[in-house]
């Protein structure tokens, strides 16, 4: 508090260097944690730019942008110079790492401090590349600074075009699979890609196309929106339904077009979305932080496994369709049974108690004690794939539809629940338990229903997981699954169902598609949780109610601010 | 809040009583079974207790960090287990360097003290940084927000260590002097265990004196009693909070070193389970209560080392040691459900917890 005046009057270039050093620290962290080296293998533009290089470059851009920001009360300086200074500071920190790596063998401590990493950081020249690093970082910092005073009309298309180029480069594998066909599609592929990345020609084309179209949209987008707004309401509705139908049709066609790999990724995304939708009922709707959610996933999977398995531990050999309702029911009952004891526990104690339950179940399943029934660490094998008539859900392409239908069903149920009397009771409990109780809400029933519904959804996704893998092992049910699901809810937006889908696409889909990310998945999740809590606690796609609540004061302030100013201006002018 | 729920709905009440009775029956039945079987002579039980005490003193050291931070901020520092892990990793690196140069065996006392100091300093630095970057901006937000940030920080630290130092186990070097056993009062104790026990007890006494006797400690207690009033009395609340984090973390760093000394290996995930158990110990002793955390840790350690044989072996359960963690977690859940104020009975009003 008392330090604020000092920093306000500090010379802006010192602040710029400080920010640069901080960003340089981030760059060094990324390098030592291994991301630079691992990501260097992912070419964005072949031979020119890799994802590994993108990381330090991005930190320099951020440093330049941050360093160029004028501070309140500070002396005005040329922002670009300050940006360049901040960028150079990043370069200096990175160079210091390179020099250090040259002097001592860091590898005995940091496993990622390999020659390949230092090469990636110094353009392959070792210490002689340092002037180049400094200059390059300063230039990039200056670009970052320049970005802050381009007009929005120029900046936005540029950023969009860069993002598109980056995106196409990153997802080249996916796109190449999609374009892997004879004829026109193949021609497009050859135009854009060589081997495993964009060619320089391809990058230029993508950049130009997206830049052009987003410039056009920036000019004409308003007109289109106006045209849509002027349409009569029924026509708007038809348009909306039409685009929704189109999206569904496209989704149905995905496995046919994209093949097993992408279908597999989508099945996983769907499974985690199912889990997320279930946990969303407990955490998002009712505000009960459950860290042992994986237990219900495990219970659903094991129930299905034991009921359908043709292997050693199978009991009755039911068909999938007969076993799924049982699995869901068993998980639901388990949800109630584990829910009753924790009814009286609130907030963070509840999180720890549920975590305890989750671990107890995992350890019990793993133990030799229950081995005769559950198979111990070997698990339950030989779970047959589901059949409808003669159609077997053999691989990911077929299971995709199963997951899709389950997701649709669960979304429907969750939506109806949310808008029901029970759903409103959940929200009330989330906001304030004591007030809710005083309003006549039966806390016991309402909380148990939340646990039960969440558990049922978790059990369903466990059942699908069991048939997908074809076997059930205790090692699939680590606490990390709970954390994964929690992260995707938080990132997507607590209480928001589209948010869950967005969250699972980002947090489950991305690491599967970009396998370099998979290794750093939990590092990124952890950082995402911390950052989301600070910057956007309502999530990427927030639920309406939560957004209103969290930003109520800001909106009031923002809405009042300009109007007041305008009013006082008018008064002054008049 | 719990009692008002129960008075209204007897089914819940019944269920909870059934839960208690089942646990009690399992415990008593198991104990009778084990004692009747007479498979384990008295020395074995003494070993269990000694092992439990040394293990428990490590839990107690970690638990101090949980309890101090919770006392002052009403927040579970979920990443505290990782602070402990960072201490163990640092201890490993320093000890490995000493081991390579041979200094570790030439001058064991000095080198172990240096290892301990470096581990404590690193843990403290990490915890202070964590508080500054992740927790301080969230002061005053809804209760789940800092907890979720802490969970995020925990996984971030784990996987950052994994990225830095690799995903394998690292072998902590052995000190020649600490090999073998000492005979104390007719009981033979592993030397490492004795060192751990003594070091932990000294450390806890030091901490207790710090909190009770010094001005800073008094300020910390004042802040945990009533933050606004303390601020009005001219206490720098932010400083008190940082010191609580720092002191707790230094204890966790020391615990990390001692843990590495006993188990002779470090791993990026090693902080998680001890972290949860130490939290159990903190709750057991009444969270916010420093002597409670110490006793809770020792109690949990003994319970856990003797429990599998004492309670489960008598029931004819195969490989009861695999269920060691189940005992600890069951205890955690039961304390949270039935006695959230802890066995020491400190009444901490969890209003709107």
Which tens digit of pLDDT belongs to each residue from A494-518? 888 888 998 898 888 888 887 777 7
**Confidence band of B254 (pLDDT split at 50, 70, 90):** very high
Tell me which of A432, A453, A477 is where a domain ends: A477
- Note whether B350 contacts A349, CB cutoff 8 Å: yes
Indicate the residue of B148, B157, B332 with minimum beta-carbon distance to A356: B332
Per residue in B106-124, is it b (16+ CB within 10 Å) or e — as a string? eeeeebbebbbebbbebbb
- Residue A458, classified by CB atoms within 10 Å of its CB into exposed (0-12), middle (13-18) or buried (19+), is buried
Structure tokens at B209: 């004196």
For residue B282, is it within any domain? yes
- A453 and A568 in a single domain? The answer is no
Place of tokens 């005769």: A372
Structural domain boundaries enclosing A573 = 545-574
Which residues does chain A have within 8 Å of residue B9's beta carbon, measured at their own beta carbons? 444
Interface of A with B in 356-375 (CB under 8 A): 356-357, 359-360, 363-364, 366-369, 371
pLDDT, residue A566, reads 39
For residue A330, give every residue at least 6 positions away whose Cβ sits within 8 Å of its Cβ, in sequence order, or none.
Answer: A299, A300, A303, A459
Shortest CA distance to B67 belongs to which of B320, B289, B219, B306?
A: B289
Contacts of residue A380, defined as CB under 8 A and 6 or more positions apart, other chains included, come to A302, A305, A306, A309, A311, A313, A314, A374, A471, A472
Contacts A490 to B, Cβ<8 Å: 148
**Chain segment B92-103, per-residue pLDDT in tens:** 999 988 888 887
| Residues A9, A137 share a domain | yes
Residues 82-111 of A with CB under 8 A from B: 109-111
A389/A271 same-domain check? yes
Name the DSSP letter for residue A292. Answer: -
Report the predicted TM-score, pTM, of the whole model to 2 decimal places: 0.86
Instruction: Let me know if residue B205 belongs to a domain.
Output: yes
For position B83, what pLDDT does the model report?
A: 94
Residue B93 contacts A, CB cutoff 8 Å = yes
Contacts of B337 in chain A (CB under 8 A): 341-342, 344-345, 353
Could B164 and A111 be called an inter-chain contact, meaning their C-beta atoms sit closer than 8 Å? yes
Question: Does residue A205 sit within a domain?
Answer: no
The boundaries of the domain holding residue B222 are 9-338
Asked if residue B158 belongs to a domain, the reply is yes
Residue B153 lies in a domain: yes
Chosen for mutation from A530, A536, A554 (greatest number of chain B CBs closer than 10 Å) is: A530
Count up the domains in chain B and report the number. 1
Residues A393, A310: one domain?
A: yes
**Do residues A431 and A286 share a domain?**
yes
Give the total number of structural domains in chain A.
Answer: 3
| pLDDT tens string B304-350 | 888 887 777 777 777 777 788 888 888 888 888 888 777 765 544 44
Q: Are residues A350 and A436 in the same domain?
A: yes
The answer to the question of residue A95 being in a domain is yes
Whether B262 is in a domain gets the answer: yes
Q: Considering the domain boundaries, does residue B68 fall inside one? A: yes
Q: Phi/psi of residue A118, each to 5°? A: -65, -35
Name the strand (E) or helix (H) holding A546.
helix A544-550
Lowest-confidence pick of B72-86, B172-186, B204-218: B172-186
Model confidence band, residue B5 (pLDDT cutoffs 50, 70, 90): low
User: B187-190 and B181-184: which strand pairing?
Assistant: antiparallel
CATH code for the domain in which residue B272 is found: 1.10.3470
Give residue-wise pLDDT tens across range A274-284.
999 999 999 98
- B95 lies in some domain: yes
Give the pLDDT mean for A104-131. 81
Would residue B14 count as lying in a domain? Answer: yes
- Identify whether residues A445 and A556 lie together within a single domain: no
């Amino acid at each position: 508090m008392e330090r604020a005046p000092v920093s306000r009057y500090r010379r802006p270039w010192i602040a710029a260097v400080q920010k640069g050093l901080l960003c340089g620290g981030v760059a060094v962290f990324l390098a030592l944690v291994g991301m630079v080296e691992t990501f260097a293998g992912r070419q964005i533009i072949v031979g020119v730019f890799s994802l590994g290089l993108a990381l330090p470059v991005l930190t320099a851009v951020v440093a330049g942008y941050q360093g160029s920001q004028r501070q309140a009360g500070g002396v005005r300086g040329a922002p670009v110079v300050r940006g360049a200074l901040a960028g150079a500071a990043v370069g200096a920190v990175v160079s210091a790492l390179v020099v250090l790596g040259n002097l001592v063998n860091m590898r005995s401590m940091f496993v990622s401090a390999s020659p390949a990493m230092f090469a990636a950081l110094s353009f392959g020249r070792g210490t002689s590349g340092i002037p180049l690093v400094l200059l390059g970082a300063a230039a990039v910092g200056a670009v970052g600074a320049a970005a802050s005073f381009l007009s929005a009309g120029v900046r936005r298309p540029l950023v969009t075009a860069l993002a598109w180029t980056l995106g196409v480069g990153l997802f080249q594998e996916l796109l190449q699979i999609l374009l892997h066909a004879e004829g026109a599609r193949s021609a497009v592929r050859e135009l854009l890609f060589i081997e495993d990345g964009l060619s320089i020609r391809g990058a230029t084309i993508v950049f130009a196309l997206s830049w052009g179209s987003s410039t056009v949209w920036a000019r004409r987008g308003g007109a289109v929106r106006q045209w849509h707004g002027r349409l009569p309401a029924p026509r708007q509705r038809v348009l909306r339904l039409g685009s929704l139908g189109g999206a569904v049709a496209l989704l149905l066609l995905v496995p046919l077009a994209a093949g097993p790999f992408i279908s597999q990724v989508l099945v996983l995304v769907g499974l985690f979305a199912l889990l997320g939708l279930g946990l969303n009922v407990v955490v998002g709707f009712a505000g009960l932080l459950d860290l042992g959610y994986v237990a219900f996933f495990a219970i659903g999977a094991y129930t299905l496994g034991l009921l359908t398995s043709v292997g050693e531990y199978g009991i009755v050999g039911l068909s999938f369709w007969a076993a799924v309702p049982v699995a869901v029911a068993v998980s639901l009952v388990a949800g109630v049974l584990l829910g009753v004891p924790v009814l009286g526990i609130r907030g963070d104690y509840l999180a720890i108690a549920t975590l305890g339950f989750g671990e107890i179940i995992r350890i019990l399943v793993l133990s030799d004690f229950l081995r005769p029934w559950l198979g111990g660490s070997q698990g339950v094998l030989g779970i047959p794939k589901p059949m409808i008539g003669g159609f077997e859900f053999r691989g990911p392409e077929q299971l995709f539809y199963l997951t899709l239908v389950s997701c649709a069903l669960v979304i429907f149920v969750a939506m109806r629940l949310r808008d029901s009397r029970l759903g409103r009771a959940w929200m009330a409990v989330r906001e304030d338990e004591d007030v809710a109780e005083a309003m006549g809400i039966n806390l016991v029933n309402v909380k148990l229903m939340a646990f039960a519904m969440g558990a049922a959804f978790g059990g369903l996704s466990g059942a699908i997981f069991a048939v997908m893998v074809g076997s059930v092992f205790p090692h699939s049910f680590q606490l990390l699954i709970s954390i994964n699901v929690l992260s995707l809810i938080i990132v997507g937006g607590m209480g928001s169902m589209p948010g869950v889908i967005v969250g699972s696409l980002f947090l489950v889909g991305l690491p599967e598609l970009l396998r370099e990310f998979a290794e750093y998945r939990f590092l990124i999740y952890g950082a995402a949780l911390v950052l989301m809590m600070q910057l956007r606690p309502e999530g990427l796609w927030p639920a309406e109610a939560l957004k209103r609540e969290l930003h109520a004061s800001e909106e009031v302030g923002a809405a009042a601010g300009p109007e007041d100013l305008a009013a006082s201006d008018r008064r002054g002018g008049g | 809040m719990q009692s008002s729920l129960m008075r209204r709905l007897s089914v819940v009440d019944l269920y909870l009583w059934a839960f208690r009775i089942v646990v009690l029956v399992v415990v008593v039945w198991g104990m009778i079974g084990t004692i009747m079987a007479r498979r384990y002579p008295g020395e074995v039980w003494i070993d269990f207790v000694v092992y439990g005490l040394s293990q428990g003193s490590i839990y107690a050291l970690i638990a101090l960090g949980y309890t101090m931070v919770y006392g002052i901020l009403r927040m579970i520092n979920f990443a505290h287990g990782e602070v402990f892990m960072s201490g163990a990793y640092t201890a490993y690196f320093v000890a490995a360097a000493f081991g390579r140069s041979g200094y570790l065996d030439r001058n064991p006392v000095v080198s172990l003290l240096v290892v301990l100091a470096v581990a404590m300093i690193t843990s403290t630095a990490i915890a202070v940084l964590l508080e500054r970057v992740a927790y301080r901006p969230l002061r005053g937000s809804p209760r789940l927000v800092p907890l979720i940030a802490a969970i995020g920080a925990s996984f971030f630290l784990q996987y950052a260590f994994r990225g830095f130092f690799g995903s394998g186990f690292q072998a902590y070097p052995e000190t020649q002097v600490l090999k073998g056993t000492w005979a104390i009062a007719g009981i033979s104790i592993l030397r490492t265990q004795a060192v751990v026990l003594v070091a932990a007890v000294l450390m806890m006494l030091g901490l207790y004196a710090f909190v009770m006797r010094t001005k800073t400690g008094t300020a910390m207690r004042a802040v945990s009693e009533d933050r606004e009033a303390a601020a009005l009395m001219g206490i720098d609340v932010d400083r008190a909070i940082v010191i609580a984090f720092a002191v707790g973390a230094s204890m966790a760093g020391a615990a990390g070193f001692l843990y590495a000394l006993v188990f002779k290996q470090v791993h990026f995930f090693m902080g998680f389970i001890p972290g949860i158990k130490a939290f159990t110990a903190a709750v057991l002793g009444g969270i916010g209560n420093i002597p409670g955390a110490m006793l809770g840790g020792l109690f949990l350690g003994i319970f856990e080392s003797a429990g599998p044989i004492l309670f489960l072996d008598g029931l004819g359960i195969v490989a009861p040691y695999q269920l060691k963690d189940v005992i600890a977690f069951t205890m955690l859940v039961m304390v949270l459900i039935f006695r959230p104020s802890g066995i020491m009975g400190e009444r901490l009003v969890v209003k709107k917890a």
